Structure 1
Amino acid sequence: MMLASILTVFILIALTLSVIAVEIRYSDRFSTYNRWNETESVIHNGPFSELANKTTIRIDNGSLSDANFGLLQNFRTKSLIIFGGRMREITLAPSVKYLHAIHSATVDLLIQPRAISYQIEELRIYNSMLTMLPKNLHRLLSLKVLNLSFNSIESIDMTQLESLEHLRELSLFGNGLKTIQTTSVISLPVLRLVDLHYNKLAQLDVYLWYIPALETLDLVEKNKLVYVKNLDSQFPKLRSFEISKNPLDCIWKDTMLQNMRLANVIIGDLDEVSCDTKSKSRISETTCSALSRSVNRQLEIFQNAKNNFEAQLKEQNEIIANQTKVLQAIEKRIDYHQIKSFK
Structure 2
Amino acid sequence: MNAKEILEAVREEQYKRAEQSGYKRLSEAEEASFRERRVARYSEAIALDPSFGDAYAERGSELYFLGRRAEATADMRKAFALGVSDPQLYAAMSMPFQGEEKREILRTGMGLIDRSSEETGWFYDHLYATVIRSYWYDGNFGENARLLEEWVPQLERTAHMYRMALQDLGMAYSALGKHAEAETAYRRALAATPAAEQQHVADMVVRTLMHRDQYGEALVVLEELADGLPADTRAIFTAALTVLQDPRSALARDASAAVLPAAEDWGRRPGPLGDSTSYYSFLLGLVYRGVGRNREAAEILTRFADEAAGNKREWGITMRWEIAKARELATTS
Above 0.5 in TM-score? Answer: no
TM range (shorter): 0.3 to 0.5
**Bigger Rg, structure 1 or 2:** 1
Under a length normalisation based on structure 1, what TM-score does the superposition of the two structures give? 0.32
Greater share of helix residues, 1 or 2?
A: 2
Greater share of strand residues, 1 or 2?
A: 1
Under a length normalisation based on structure 2, what TM-score does the superposition of the two structures give? 0.32
